[in-house]
Structure 1
Amino acid sequence: MDISRMLKQFLTEQFLKTSIRTPSKLNLPIGSARFSIEQMCKLFPKDANIEIRKISLAGLKAEELKPQDESTQLIFHIHGGAFYLGSLNTHRAFLTHVAARTQMQVIHVDYPLSPEHRFPTALNALFDVYQELLNQGIQAKDIILSGDSCGANLALALALRIRNEKLPQVSGLILLSPFLDLTLTSESIRFNQKHDALLSLETIETGIKHYLPKNVDVGDPRVSPMFDDFKDLPPTLVQVGSKELLLDDAKRFKDKAEQAGVDVTFKIYTGMWHNFQMFHPWFDEGKKSLADLAEFAHKQDKD
């Protein structure tokens, strides 16, 4: 890595630690935390060639991002945010680039956040969205299910529920910086605490507190899908940064999924922090992650 790239990464990490990670340890009011994240995400540039259309799916506000008039494949993305942050606004820019790079239609939704709506409200709502997509005539083989951070948790939980309820399964699953174990037993949560520029332990602990009703255990496979059976999951892409708190969530998923016979494409991106994909315009590793995502998505296109 040359000096200019090293300096740019160092300055970005220091900015994120100061503006996002450190304040997240202060137990800010939820409204303030949501506002801060949305303001930061305004820095991300959108791809101007992508058409953005507001829609409604299963009673939820949603957006359709289209790179062209006809796309054979649809990516249904579930945003992250520790179950209590994130929105259409925070992920719109990133997803325009996903749509542009894959040349596939992308749909994302404003699912119910906690603590206003605790488990299983969000998962039920996302399951209803998937059923509505099928009812609209979209074939499961033309849907790729995607999520980042806690959105990856919900995406995996949704794929498992689709399997358990014997609905047609999606063609592929994309897990970006996944948060899959709410028991917080992954070793990287301890050894990467000082290295992850974006995510703090306090944020995920707050998210768990907001998300779970008192009668649901953190190890319940419905909320910690790491502990479920991964048999018959679709081909899955997993991306994670080497500095992430949740690095070992991704590694443990890979090992267990491969043992269950799942076709897993897995990559660690050197020097990258949580949800680094959203910073792809400024970093080579981020650009490579988007190219890898597109390559995986194209392999799932059966038409």
Structure 2
Amino acid sequence: MKISPLWKQLITERILKTVIRKPSQFNLPPNSLRLALEQLCRAFPQNKEVEIRTLRLAGLRAEEIKPQTESTQLIFHIHGGAFFLGSLKTHRAFLTQIAARTQMQILHVDYPLSPEHQHPEAIDALFDIYTTLLDQGVQSKDIILSGDSCGANLALALALRIQQEKLPQVSGLILLSPFLDLTLTSESLRYNAQHDALLSIETIETGIDYYVPKNMDKSDPTISPLFADLTGLPPILVQVGSKEILLDDAQRFKERAEQANVKVHFKIYTGMWHNFQMFSAWFDEAQQAIADLAEFAHQLDQD
């Protein structure tokens, strides 16, 4: 029996709220949550038409996910997980779908997680990855920085660090369901609190406590890049769901980027929750988001 799209969405939201959101409201050890999330993410189907190769870059474990054909662009993706969750395993299937749809190579790394490693260790490690790529002869114009949730935070912070260090800048940024304001002043944290099926305020509060050193101001642009000077950044794609508690992080960023004369491609996907793009096997909106992402990446390649 075929399930209607509405019922499929309602059932999925109920499952997510039960198995992910509800447990996140309890003070469980990070390692237990990491293992549980990896097991849950095994439900996402991998695309079999791409190759996955393990490697090490700048001392970090990484994966290279490649389509069968030669690709001219490299998408350097930074996974989400509120700064203390997520791994190669949680995002592998999702990134195989992006590699297949874009026909571009994906680089995915296991960066240092909190609370074992607080700011700025993650961004320092990711910066080392970027300089290693440049040293290996990869041209900056052939690199797209990408990230989901807190990974979008780190991707944007990395682009700003590249600019600060006066290194060659990447060709573009892809920010999926971005978590950019760790001061938690976005209104959607409250008005979408009961609507976001995946992410809870408790999870991001825990992530902030783990990630930010006690003596640091959470509005520091290296921690909350929403407040950074965005002038001079390359074109940016921003995707967010209408039910996300981080909806306003994305909308406020769009406004600030446009004020800084940055080219922004921004889209809200109706009825979608946090990181909905990972559910492309089951939802048309997520499939469309990946198609939109591919179109943006191909445009950067032509430019």
Shift of 1:36: 1.3
> Does structure 2 conserve the Cα–Cα contact (< 8 Å) formed by 1:141 and 1:302?
no
Letter in 2 for 1:257: A
Quote the residue 2:92 is aligned against: 92
Distance in 2 between residues matched to 1:160 and 1:169, nearest whole Å: 9
> Does structure 1 conserve the Cα–Cα contact (< 8 Å) formed by 2:49 and 2:68?
no
Distance in 2 between residues matched to 1:223 and 1:273, nearest whole Å: 24
Quote the residue 1:129 is aligned against: 129
Q: Identify which range, 145-154 or 60-69, moves more after superposition.
A: 60-69
> Does structure 1 conserve the Cα–Cα contact (< 8 Å) formed by 2:69 and 2:103?
no
Distance in 1 between residues matched to 2:180 and 2:23, nearest whole Å: 24
- Is 1:13 matched up with 2:13? yes
Q: Identify which range, 67-76 or 107-116, moves more after superposition.
A: 67-76
Quote the residue 2:245 is aligned against: 245
1:1-303 equivalent positions in 2, closer than 5 A: 4-302=4-302
Letter in 1 for 2:113: L
Count of residue pairs brought into register by the alignment: 302
Letter in 2 for 1:91: H
Letter in 2 for 1:162: I
Shift of 1:302: 3.9
> Does structure 2 conserve the Cα–Cα contact (< 8 Å) formed by 1:236 and 1:264?
yes
Letter in 2 for 1:109: V
Distance in 2 between residues matched to 1:37 and 1:233, nearest whole Å: 33
1:7-38: per-residue Cα shift (whole Å, max 9, x none)? Answer: 00000000000000011001111111111111
Q: Structure 1, unaligned stretches of length 5 or more?
A: none
Secondary structure of the residue aligned to 1:42 is helix
Secondary structure of the residue aligned to 1:77 is strand
Distance in 1 between residues matched to 2:83 and 2:70, nearest whole Å: 33
Could you list the structure 1 runs, at least 4 aligned residues long, displaced by more than 6 angstroms after superposition: none
1:182-224: per-residue Cα shift (whole Å, max 9, x none)? Answer: 0000000000000000000000000000001111111111000
Q: Structure 2, unaligned stretches of length 5 or more?
A: none
Shift of 1:74: 0.3
Shift of 1:90: 0.3
Distance in 2 between residues matched to 1:279 and 1:17, nearest whole Å: 15
Q: Identify which range, 143-152 or 3-12, moves more after superposition.
A: 3-12
Letter in 2 for 1:142: D
Shift of 1:68: 2.4
Distance in 1 between residues matched to 2:271 and 2:3, nearest whole Å: 15
Distance in 1 between residues matched to 2:50 and 2:12, nearest whole Å: 27
Distance in 1 between residues matched to 2:261 and 2:281, nearest whole Å: 35
1:65-117: per-residue Cα shift (whole Å, max 9, x none)? Answer: 00025210000000000000000000000000100000000000000000000
1:90-146: per-residue Cα shift (whole Å, max 9, x none)? Answer: 000000010000000000000000000000000000000000000000000000000
1:244-299: per-residue Cα shift (whole Å, max 9, x none)? Answer: 00000000000000110001000000000000000111001000000000000000
Q: Identify which range, 260-269 or 26-35, moves more after superposition.
A: 26-35
Letter in 2 for 1:208: I
Distance in 2 between residues matched to 1:215 and 1:130, nearest whole Å: 28
TM-score by length of 2: 0.98
Distance in 2 between residues matched to 1:211 and 1:99, nearest whole Å: 30
Letter in 2 for 1:186: S
The structure-2 alpha-carbon separation of the partners of 1:68 and 1:3, relative to structure 1 and needing over 3 Å to count, comes to closer
1:36-63: per-residue Cα shift (whole Å, max 9, x none)? Answer: 1111100000000110000111110000
Distance in 1 between residues matched to 2:3 and 2:273, nearest whole Å: 19
Shift of 1:3: 7.1
Secondary structure of the residue aligned to 2:56 is strand
Cα RMSD of the aligned pairs, angstroms, is 1.0
The structure-2 alpha-carbon separation of the partners of 1:20 and 1:261, relative to structure 1 and needing over 3 Å to count, comes to same
Letter in 2 for 1:215: N
